[in-house]
Chains A and B, each alone.
Chain A
């Protein structure tokens, strides 16, 4: 992309004073039900000028519905949509000035590339000269010069997407909405287009909202990520925040892989079986004796055969290496921890329970560990080796009801999806 041209097209827009510079797009308390099923529950977020927000969630999480509500293609039951300080909740789609890049691009099949891009200006009855100039600029911007007279069916998926983007940029949208923009593309094109779009957005200073179920895409595209689960906003934050400091178990397991260990808050730490992890800051928000989960990522586990752990590493326990897989960029191990579940005393309600996910008679809680190549090469491990297990990072999350049966089992998004 050529940044200068991108800036040119939007220079007039950027120069204008913006009434509320903080939020270019706001969604306020939006709820929606379809035939009695709650699809969205009290959704609330802001997107700043030039920011890109990714709505991340599994299918059925309601992310597409949010996008359609912002675009005006769907009406919320309650709540408001505010674009650049103006409440557009009551406006029809055509008066909102949002640009939607549909999943299958929705290019007009009987119009050439040029005419597709010109459509927004033609229906606004702009002078022919202005239309031609804008179309020329945009065609150059999305590098489709030699395809301008082709029909959408003659273009590749990536080219079609560029036409779709140019078609919305032509009328200077208030916000760009991308509905699963890379779903229909092969892996290589996907990565390339992602970078291109990111560069483009940085220059045009238009807020963008992406919808995806792909965590890698979310981490790369979003200035911030909003994780949706069953119509509720679980967490919204920078990629670093949602990945490294997940606030809910869902966020921890949906974005990347996570090990979950059930424990109780005891004396400024988390007691898991026979071990107590010292974590005064993390446990400060919980009361003594509260049931919690210790959450840590496979890459935050440090294994040592000698038993010596680096300074920044909190000792968890010992374990036995059960399986080792080499998965290209890193090594993946399954480990059984020497943790024995503490039995509740007779008559007292159980504080926690640990179920081991196996039919075989094996002791210990299984976890997954990944190690980068240099580490794997310097400390070679074999199945059956005993190691000391340390954590370089972890989170303590409340243990909500019904999640107990998952404790001790391994939740691994990489493998299950």
Chain B
């Protein structure tokens, strides 16, 4: 390629090519949910969105994802603390096991939970006589969400723990703080960025979870149907607008989370 006065022709060409590849693969599909969803006017979009079943599905997704996030962030913190502060036999094996759910297909995860907690499952069989059923309830959705998002918060928090200077905690101890005070006043504030990032990642992933939820929830409208399941069910029933309205909300939601992660990075990392 010839360079004309510092003008490199490769640059505009390669940028154009890149966008051209992304267009049908990523940008158009995203655009189409917005184009289709609003094609019959905002009124019908709003009506589809405020249908009781749709509202329930969105709420259920938020609530189950919320509790899965709370659990996984607290566990991730705890596990990071234990695994980066103490050295013991089997430590590396535990790190691998915690990270394992990333590699397991979500359908397999849901199936595994069914086998354990289902009416004939190893644990399910024991609690069924007491009238307790976990599967096909909102709790099953939470369990599935916890399983598939298990390593996310841990994966973000652990590296920060590893690189954190021990002298801060030692300084706190010599000043007279108990372990708990040190953790609360010194360690935790330094982890703030990692905790927020880990929580957002976990939450975003849980809200979108489909494969495992459809197996363990039973996909019961107004009872265990999460937003992704609602989209799937409505689409199968031919109610494309209903599916589309919820799809738009989920898409916007993930944009929001992504923006926070992307633009608030500096704020999260430093003061």
- Once bound together, how far apart are the Cα atoms of A153 and B271, in whole Å? 9
A102 at the interface (CB under 8 A from B): yes
Closest chain B CB from A165 CB (angstroms) = 12
Chain A residue numbers with a CB within 8 Å of B181 are: 123
Q: How large is the interface on B (under 10, 10 to 19, 20 to 34, 35 or more residues)?
A: 20 to 34
A106's contact among B167, B185, B192, B270, by CB below 8 Å, is which? B167
Does B59 reach chain A (CB closer than 8 Å)?
no
Given contacts A110-B271, A123-B181, A151-B271, A104 and B165 within 8 Å (CB-CB): yes
Is B190 an interface position by the 8 A CB rule? Answer: yes
Q: What are the interface flags for B169-186 relative to A under an 8 Å C-beta threshold, 1 for contact and 0 otherwise?
A: 011111111100100011
Give every chain A residue within 8 A of B29 (Cβ-Cβ).
none
Q: Which of B171, B173, B185 contacts A92 (CB 8 A)?
A: B173
Q: Check A100 against B176 for contact (C-beta < 8 Å).
A: no
| Number of residue pairs A-B, CB distance < 8 angstroms | 73
Give 1 or 0 for each of B255-270: 1 = CB within 8 Å of chain A CB.
0000000000000001
Contact A124–B176 (Cβ < 8 Å)? yes
Q: Which of B165, B167, B190 has the most CB of A within 10 A?
A: B167
Which of B165, B172, B175, B177 counts the most A-chain CB atoms under 10 A from its CB? Answer: B175
A30-88 contacts to B, CB under 8 A, are 71-73
A325 CB–B CB distance under 8 Å? no
Given A100-B170, A102-B170, A104-B167, verify A109-B176 contact (CB < 8 Å).
no
B105 contacts chain A at the CB level, 8 A cutoff: no
Contacts of B175 in A (CB 8 A): 94, 99, 119-120, 123, 167-168, 171
Judged by a CB distance under 8 angstroms, whether A97 is at the interface is yes
B100 within 8 A of A: no
What residues of A have a CB within 8 angstroms of the CB of B177 in the complex?
94, 119, 123
Residue of B nearest to A96 (CB): B174
User: Is A99 in contact with B174, judged by CB distance below 8 angstroms?
Assistant: yes
Contact B176 A120 (CB under 8 A): yes
Cβ contact within 8 Å between A109 and B190: yes
| In the assembled complex, B168 has its CB within 8 A of some CB on chain A | yes
A356 on interface, CB distance cutoff 8 Å? no
- Among residues of B, the one whose C-beta sits closest to the C-beta of A73 is B170
Tell yes or no: B189 within 8 A of A by CB: yes
**Are A93 and B185 in contact, with the CB atoms below 8 A?**
no
- The number of residues on chain A lying at the interface, defined by a beta carbon within 8 Å of a beta carbon of chain B, is 30
A106 and B176 form a contact (CB under 8 A):
no
Contact for B186 among A93, A99, A108, CB less than 8 A: A108
Given the contacts A92-B173, A94-B177, A123-B185, A106 and B165 also touching, CB distance less than 8 Å? yes
CA of A94 to CA of B175, assembled, Å: 6
Shortest C-beta distance, B87 to chain A (Å), equals 13
Question: In the complex, what's the smallest C-beta–C-beta distance from A403 to chain B, in angstroms?
Answer: 38
A48 to B170, CA, bound (A): 26
Asked whether, in the complex, the Cβ of B174 is within 8 Å of the Cβ of A100, the reply is yes
A106 to chain B minimum Cβ distance, whole angstroms, is 4
In whole Å, how far is B84's beta carbon from the nearest beta carbon of chain A?
Answer: 18
Is A98 at the interface (CB under 8 A from chain B)? yes
Whether the Cβ atoms of A73 and B173 lie closer than 8 Å is yes
What does the 1/0 interface line of B150-174 toward A look like (CB < 8 Å)? 0000000000000001011011111
CB pair A110 B170 closer than 8 Å: no
CA distance A95 to B173 in the complex (A): 9
User: Assuming A108-B168, A108-B185, A153-B271, is B190 touching A94 (CB within 8 A)?
Assistant: no
Q: Does B178 contact A94, Cβ atoms closer than 8 Å?
A: yes
Most chain B C-beta atoms within 10 Å of own C-beta, residue among A94, A120, A151, A171 = A94
6 more CB-based (< 8 A) A-B contacts, given A94-B174, A119-B185, A153-B270: A106-B167, A106-B168, A108-B172, A108-B186, A123-B175, A153-B271
- 19 A/B residue pairs, CB under 8 Å, sorted by A: A73-B173, A92-B173, A93-B174, A97-B176, A100-B174, A103-B167, A104-B167, A106-B168, A108-B168, A108-B171, A108-B172, A108-B189, A109-B190, A119-B177, A119-B185, A122-B185, A123-B176, A123-B185, A167-B175
Ranked nearest first, the 3 interchain pairs of A and B with the lowest CB-CB distance are: A106-B171, A110-B189, A106-B167
